[in-house]
Each structure stands twice: as C-alpha cells, then as structure tokens.
Amino acid sequence: MIALYTLLVLVTVAVVIFGAPPIRRVLLSNRILAVFRKVMPPMSQTEADAINAGTVWWDGELFSGKPDWERLLGYPKPTLTPEEQSFLDNECEELCRLCNDWDTYAINDLPPEAWQYIKDKRFFGMIIPKEYGGLGFSAYMHSQVITKLSTRCSALAVTVMVPNSLGPAELLLHYGTEEQKRYYLPRLAAGEEIPCFALTSPHAGSDAAAIPDRGVVCKGMWNGEEVLGMRVTWDKRYITLGPIATLLGLAFRLYDPDGLLGAEKDLGITCALVPTDTPGVHIGRRHFPLNAVFMNGPNWGEDVFMPLDWIIGGPKMAGQGWRMLMECLAAGRSISLPSSNTGMAKLAVRGTGAYARVRQQFNLPIGKFEGVEEPLARMGGNLYMMDAARRMTAGALDLGEKPSVISGIVKYHVTERARDVLNDAMDIQGGKGICLGPNNFTGRAYQQIPVSITVEGANILTRSLIIFGQGAIRCHPYVLKELTAARQNDARAFDQALWRHISFTLCNGARAFFMGLTGSHFVRVPANVAPENKRYYQQLTRFSAAFAFVADISMAVMGGELKRREKLSARLGDILSLLYLCSATLKRYEDEGRNAVDKPLLDWAIWDAMFKAQSAFEGVMSNYPNRVAAHILRWFVFPLGRPYVVASDRLGHKVAELLIEPSSTRDRLTADMYIPREDGEIIGTLERALHAAIAAEAIEAKVRRAVKAGRIEARSPEETAQAAVDAGIISAEEQTQLARAAQLRNEVIRVDDFPPDLSLTDHARSDAARAVA
Ligand SMILES: Cc1cc2nc3c(=O)[nH]c(=O)nc-3n(C[C@H](O)[C@H](O)[C@H](O)COP(=O)(O)OP(=O)(O)OC[C@H]3O[C@@H](n4cnc5c(N)ncnc54)[C@H](O)[C@@H]3O)c2cc1C
C-alpha cells in the first residue's frame, strides 16, 4: 500500500513537473540552459553560414527515425523533356564522337573541333536560362549530360562540368546585378567567355574560409576617372580552366581600413568577376593533374586595382562571398562528381563485363571463375546504387531543393564507390588495364579518380567533418532549435525544444529496441511498395530509429567534443549515408517499374549497405568514450546480436552473370552511355566480341568434348576447328562463327606499344600507337 502510494506521488510529481512548462522551466530547463550555454561549442560566422546553407530533404526523414516511405515513393521520377532527350541523343552523342580519352591525352587538350562544338551547341550554358541565351536544362538533364560525356572522355566531361558547376554563371544567376547578368550570361552560354573559379590558395585548401588573399577598399583611377574600388592581391592554384580562362571568378577577403564603405573594417570573403586581360592578372602555366588533360593551373595578382562593380551582386555584396558559396555549393556538388563518376563506372562495368566473357584463361571465360565473380558483383551492385543516388539527388534539385547534407553524401559515396569499381575493373583486366593507349578503356579513368576524391570537398574531410557534423544540426528536428534558443538565451523556446527532443530520443530508443527484438517484422510499410522489397523498408526503418537514437545519445554524451571525434562522427555519417543510398536504390527499383530481372543488383546493393551500416554502428559503440553508454546503446540497437551478414556468394554469382552477357538489365545498368559504332573503337569492338564469344561458346564446348573423347586431335585452334568440321562434329557455319569470335577476341585483348623512348611529339603519339597482340 505504501509502495503504491509512493509510486502515485512520484508519478504525480513527474506529471506536474514535465506537464507544466512553467514549473519544468524553473526546476529543470533553465538550469540545463545555463550549463548548455557554457559548454556549447563556439561557432564562427563561416561555420554558421555553412551549416545554415541549403535545405533539408529526405535526409530529414532519415534523421526522424520514422521515414515516411510514402513520401519517398511520391517524389516524381526524374524525366527529360523531348527537347532534352533529343540533345542527349544527338548533340551529346556527336560531342562524344569528337573526343576520346586517348587522343586528348596525345594532344594534351580537347581537339579544336570539340572545343568549337561545345561553344556552338552551348554546352557551357546548361544551367543558364534560355532568356540569357543558355540551354535552361533541368538538373536531371545536366546530370545526364555529364554522365554520358564521362562514359567517353574524362577531360571532356570535366571541361563541360566546371562552367556549369559552382562558378561565375551559378553565382551570377543567384546574386548578380541585372546588368552583370545581361552582359555575362549570354557570353558564358555561347562560350565567348571561358570561366573559372579561383578559391583555393597554397595555404588554404580544405580550410577555404582561411584564404589569405586580400583586397583593400580604396580609390583609384579607372578609365581615366577616379572611382571607388579595391586593390586585390591573390595567389591561387589548382584552378580548373584557369590557363585558358577569360573570366576569373575570384574569392578574397575584403578589408575597408579607411571606412570608405561603412564602419566594418573586415568585410569578409568577397567574390568578384575579373577579366583575365586586366593589367596585373597573371595566368600562370599548367598543372598536370595525374595526366589529366583538362586545363588546370595557378593564377595570381598583386595590388590589382578593380572597381567595386566587379563584385558579384555589386558593392552591397561585399563580404557576402562565403555565404554565397555555401548557399550555391549543394547544386554543383550534387551533380558534377556524382554524375562524372557514375559515367566512369558505367564505362568500367560495361567494358569489363564484356571483357570478362571474351577473355579466356584455363579454357574458360575469366568472368566464370568465382574469384572474378566477386569483384564483378561488387561492380554491378555499386553501380546500381550509385546511379540510383545520382538520379534521386538530381530529382531533388528539380523539386527546388538545395540539399546540402545530401550533396556531401553523394559526393563522397559515389566517388568512393567509383574508386572501388575502377579498382575492380583494373584487377579483372590485368595487363590490359595497365598498358595505356587507345585500346585501354579504363586506365585513364583509373588515373583520374583521385581528382574526384579531392575536389569539391576532399573526401576524408567530407566524411569526417561534414556529413554528420552538418547533418546532426540541420537534419535533426530539434538540435538547431535548441542551439538557436540557447544562443538567444530564449528560455521558453529552449524548454520546448529540449523536452520534445528528450521524448523524441526515448521514443526512438524504445522503437529501435522493439524492432530489434521482433526483427522489425511488425513495422508498417505502405501498401504500394513492391512486396518483394517490403522487408528492406522494415529494416531500414529499424536502422533509422537506431541511428536517430545513437546520434542523440552521442550528442548528449560527447556534446561539442563530438566535432573533434572525427572517427565517430564519420561512422555516424556513414550510417546516415547508407540509409540514403538504400532509399535511393529502392526508389530506383520502383521508378523503373519493378524489373524483377534487376532484383539481384538491388539485393546485393542493399545487403552490402545494411552490413556496412551494421559495422558502422559497431565501430561507434566499440570506440565509445563512455563504456556504460556503449553497453546501453548496444543493448538497445542489437538486443539479439548483429543480424546482418555480407551479401551471399550465390547472390554475387547472379549479379556477375548479369554483367557478362547482353541483357536488358545490363542495358539499364549502363543506360545512356556512349557506345561508338565505328570500327577500331575498343568499346564497340568489345560489344561485338561479347556477342560472338557467347555464340561460339557452345560450339567450342562441342569441339572440346570431341578432343577429350579422342575423336579429333588438339592442334592450333584453327586446325582443331577444321578437324572438327572434317569429322562432322561442327558445321562449316559454326566454324565461321568460331573464326569470327577468335578474330574479335584477338582484337579485344590487344594492347598498344610505342617507340622505346616514348619521345613522340604530342600529335604523333596516337598515330604511332601500334596495336599488337
Ligand atoms: C585537379 C584539381 C582541380 C581543382 N579545381 C579547383 C578549382 O577550379 N577551383 C578551386 O578553387 N579549387 C580547385 N581545386 C582545389 C581543391 O578544391 C582542393 O584541392 C581541395 O579543397 C583540397 O585542398 P588541398 O588539396 O589543399 O588539400 P588539404 O586541404 O591539404 O587536405 C589534405 C587532406 O587532409 C584532409 N583534411 C583536411 N582537413 C581535415 C579535417 N579537418 N578533418 C579531416 N580531414 C581533413 C583532406 O580531406 C585531405 O585528404 C582543384 C584541385 C585539383 C587537384
């Protein structure tokens, strides 16, 4: 009776405290707020600009612990207009025909006719609206173009990609004065101006906000008149298109020591457009980034006077440069590298799959050996997921989103998976992948992967600092509200956010635990999902709840310290990213009409991702600074142990099979890639060789059986085939098929060679490349 009475009193006290905000505030929230304000990490303006930039989209659902799958499936499938489709099928196809990886390497540039075509067809104006002379393409179309160009020539893709990514055009569109837009945008769209954007300096790479480049507001002579301007000194490197640019987008820190613009002395990072023929602008020589031939180099200037009107958006935008860059970063980062890397992966998958069927060792196509199947399966599963994420993210941009956290996720994960795909492709091809020349279809892409890893936010930094660091604040339903309330010392708002946050955390913990105990079998999923994927939706809901719970507990246990614990932050970011990649993969399956024949690709990708997510959880818990909290987390998240295992060998076998023979699945997986039809082009030859090899396999088997049975004698392949015809084992027509397969196989396995000193003039290199068996 006393116990019951005590319990009743406790419950009443709890209800009064937690249910009555004024009492709760006085007794608890205000005290917590005081502590919170003391331990809260300081945030610079540049950090705040980065965190506040962009929008929250599907990442917010994943952070909620309860993703609304109906919402995911309701997002429209990205599509092209007839005009866009025609551009992809005609202009893009033609541009691919004009360039190839090897010839660009041989001349260290794109061929002049490709440059002209790019300008004539306004490839530099994909993001520029038609009213300014651009093509006004959707984000999805922009992504399709970059993907397609990357299946042909990486230098071509980068050259087209950069003017359409974060740079002069994008910044002008958002912040330019009408006069700047009317002057520059049509010129940029027509390729009359070649733009570049110079942010990186020798002493500020990843920490770009720390650029030492500076401008000082002052008066000076301009066109014979004294005007208010700035004297700018800068030293930049690694600037893509820099060596040939006519218009330099320049980021520097602007100071106003004499107060000519107002009271502020340090105005902050500022972006200006500087014609490169301005006296004092030095465009240096070229860098040679891993043999990539797109233009890239340093530039510098000392005390170069320029009018304030050159600031993008005019003088009122002085000091707003960092905010502008952060706000615009998501669009380019969501498209450029995810698309170019998906393109390279398509090329590697289609080509290597065919090669693995055509190339024989030990009397078998190498793609049929279990050891080779394993990397083939990785290549297929990775590409299916990469392309799904690329498309879904481009679709988000077309819905008006600027998904900053997601842009970091796709930049990091698509480029890392492309690196895996290319590594696997190289291993499978052996020496064929290593010897460069016109007959090598992956070596150049392989060489250039580190460029993708490094630019637009280097990958280690993106994973360790940005994805979870920004996600935890932006995508979380309450953290930003709490931080804002604490900064403003708003007790009421803090109290509201805090208690909702606490109940959110407890609820996710309980849900994660229950779903862990029941194998998430009771999770409700919308009736309209593909029934064969229902379990995936259920398991992802479980992981989403577990992730939200672990993220909250980590923030509570480590607070601001979590920012320095980059390894833990990286693993939490991995879980969020994998949830996003799985969502995109499930959406792709639905958007493509639930092709059952593609299901092994989806299954492999999701199993692999779930296993990786589980390992990331484990990595967080094993390294948790507080061991008690670690045990509690493990108990909540994996109450019955770790349920996920690696994708099975049987599944991997099915995926590998899909890559080594022609099928609608293989076509969808490598959709919209450029496949040259002309003779002598390795990818086209590989396609023909693949068909011929498959047609010849049954005939070869008949011949082998006859040899084994002693009916004919094994000699050279041609002689054995003739003996098989003479003995009535195969027909003359079958003999012709064997000969055709052998001839195409010979062409495919060829590698190039060069004079011993490799000292050819650039133009002669490709002509002198002699293909030998
Ligand atoms: C081919 C090429 C083209 C480029 N094009 C342009 C361009 O057009 N315009 C432009 O302005 N810039 C351009 N860049 C510059 C590019 O953006 C930078 O290279 C990039 O920002 C990284 O800077 P960094 O190379 O100085 O490396 P660093 O900043 O020195 O970083 C080195 C390593 O340390 C890691 N790291 C740094 N800080 C942290 C941290 N806090 N936590 C974890 N890891 C960290 C990074 O991830 C990286 O792995 C280009 C670079 C290349 C190579």
pLDDT in tens, 410-419: 999 999 999 9
Render the burial of 298-330: b for 16+ CB within 10 Å, e for the rest: bbbbeebbbbbbbbbbebebbbbbbbbbbbbbb
Identify the active-site residue in 84, 170, 327, 456.
456
Give the span between the Cα atoms of 647 and 203, in whole angstroms. 44
Does 448 contact ligand 1 (Cβ within 6 A)? Answer: no
How wide is the angle at C-alpha 12 spanned by C-alphas 6 and 13, nearest 5°?
90
pLDDT in tens, 177-217: 999 999 999 999 999 999 999 999 999 999 999 999 999 99
pLDDT band (50, 70, 90) for residue 10:
low
Residue 333 CA to ligand 1 centre (angstroms): 14
Residue 756 CB-half CA count within 13 A: 0
Average pLDDT over residues 130-152: 98
Question: Any idea which of 4-13, 441-450, 600-609 has the lowest mean pLDDT?
Answer: 4-13
Residue closest by Cα to atom 27 of ligand 1? 205
- pLDDT score recorded for residue 770: 44
Instruction: Name the residue among 158, 138, 148 with its Cα closest to residue 89.
Output: 148
Ligand 1 atom nearest residue 251's Cα: 11
- Between the CA of 728 and the centroid of ligand 1 the distance, in Å, is 67
Cβ atoms 582, 536 nearer than 8 A: yes
The mean of the pLDDT values for the chain is 94
Task: Note the pLDDT of residue 7.
Answer: 54
Q: At CB < 8 A and 24+ separation, what contacts does 275-282 make?
A: 275/246, 275/247, 275/248, 276/245, 276/246, 276/247, 276/248, 277/246, 278/304, 278/306, 279/304, 280/304, 280/305, 281/248
CA 622 to chain centre: 29
Q: Which of 250-259, 402-411, 453-462, 676-685 has the lowest mean pLDDT?
A: 676-685
Question: What is the mean predicted confidence (pLDDT) over 498-511?
Answer: 95
Closest by alpha carbon to 32, among 564, 458, 556?
556
At 328, is the pLDDT very low, low, confident or very high (cuts 50, 70, 90)? very high
- Reported confidence tier of residue 772, pLDDT bands at 50, 70, 90: very low
Q: Band of the pLDDT at 4, cuts 50, 70, 90?
A: low
Predicted pLDDT of residue 16: 58
Report the predicted TM-score, pTM, of the whole model to 2 decimal places: 0.95
Nearest CA owner, ligand 1 atom 48 = 458
**Ligand 1 in contact with 429 (CB < 6 A)?**
no
Residues 98 and 114 sit within 8 Å (Cβ to Cβ)? yes
- Residue 248, phi then psi, degrees to nearest 5: -100, 115
Cα separation of 205 and 201, whole Å? Answer: 6
Is pLDDT at 513 greater than 50 in this prediction?
yes
Tell me the pLDDT band of 766, cut-offs 50, 70 and 90. Answer: low
233: which DSSP letter? E
Nearest CA to ligand 1 atom 12: 200
The response to whether residue 269 sits with its C-beta less than 6 Å from ligand 1 reads no
CB of 165 closer than 6 angstroms to any ligand 1 atom: no
Please write the tens of the pLDDT for every residue from 617-671: 999 999 999 999 999 999 999 999 999 999 999 999 999 999 999 999 999 999 9
Residue 200 beta carbon below 6 angstroms from any ligand 1 atom: yes
Q: Mean per-residue pLDDT for 538-565?
A: 94
Give the pLDDT of residue 14.
60
The answer to whether residue 456 is catalytic is yes
Average pLDDT over residues 94-107: 92
- Of 308, 158, 171, which Cα lies nearest the Cα of 240? 158
**pLDDT for 572 beyond 60:** yes
Name the residue with the closest Cα to ligand 1, atom 24. 205
pLDDT tens digits for 330-369? Answer: 999 999 999 999 999 999 999 999 999 999 999 899 999 9
Q: Which two tokens stand for residue 750?
A: 């060829």
Best residue among 238, 271, 569 to mutate for probing ligand 1's pocket (most ligand atoms within 8 Å of CB) is 238
- Kindly state the percentage of the chain with pLDDT values over 90: 86
Distance 164 CA to ligand 1 centre (A): 20
Q: Whose CA is nearest to atom 50 of ligand 1?
A: 238
Q: Which two tokens stand for residue 275?
A: 């014609």
Residue 56, CA distances (Å) to 44, 444, 500 in order: 22, 36, 20
Ligand 1 midpoint to CA 206 (Å) = 5
Q: Is the CB of 294 under 6 A from ligand 1?
A: no
What is the rounded distance in angstroms from the CA atom of residue 703 to the CA atom of residue 723?
A: 9
Answer yes or no: is the C-beta of 450 below 6 A from any ligand 1 atom. Answer: no
Task: Dump pLDDT digits (tens) for 103-132.
Answer: 898 889 999 999 999 999 999 999 999 999
| 3-state DSSP assignment of residue 301 | strand
State the pLDDT at residue 17.
63
pLDDT tens digits along 573-588: 999 999 999 999 999 9
CA of 294 to the centre of ligand 1 (A): 18
For ligand 1, say whether the CB of 554 is within 6 Å of any of its atoms: no
> 10 Å Cβ neighbour count for 22?
9
User: In this predicted structure, which of 44-53, 150-159, 390-399, 439-448 has the lowest mean pLDDT?
Assistant: 44-53
Q: How confident is the model at residue 50 (pLDDT cuts 50, 70, 90)?
A: confident
pLDDT at 23: 84
The answer, yes or no, to whether any atom of ligand 1 lies below 6 A from the CB of 64, is no
Write down the pLDDT at residue 48. Answer: 84
The CA-to-CA distance between both ends of the chain, in Å, stands at 94
Half-sphere exposure of 373 (CA within 13 A, CB side): 17
Residue range 432-461, pLDDT digits in tens: 999 999 999 999 999 999 999 999 999 999
* Tens digits of residue pLDDT in 712-755: 998 999 999 999 999 999 999 999 999 999 999 999 999 999 88
Q: Which two tokens stand for residue 633?
A: 């987390």
Provide the pLDDT confidence category of residue 44 given band limits of 50, 70 and 90: confident
Supply the pLDDT for residue 763. Answer: 45
Whether the Cβ atoms of residue 288 and residue 297 lie closer than 8 Å to each other: no
Answer whether 158 contacts ligand 1 (Cβ < 6 A). Answer: no
pLDDT at 680: 86
- Euclidean distance between CA atoms 67 and 541, whole angstroms: 6
Q: Can you say how many angstroms the Cα of residue 172 is from the centroid of all Cα atoms in its chain?
A: 25
Cβ distance 406 to 393 under 8 Å? yes
Q: List, in order, residues 6 or more apart from 68 with CB less than 8 Å away.
A: 61
- Best CA proximity match to 482, nearest among 506, 463, 465, 499: 499
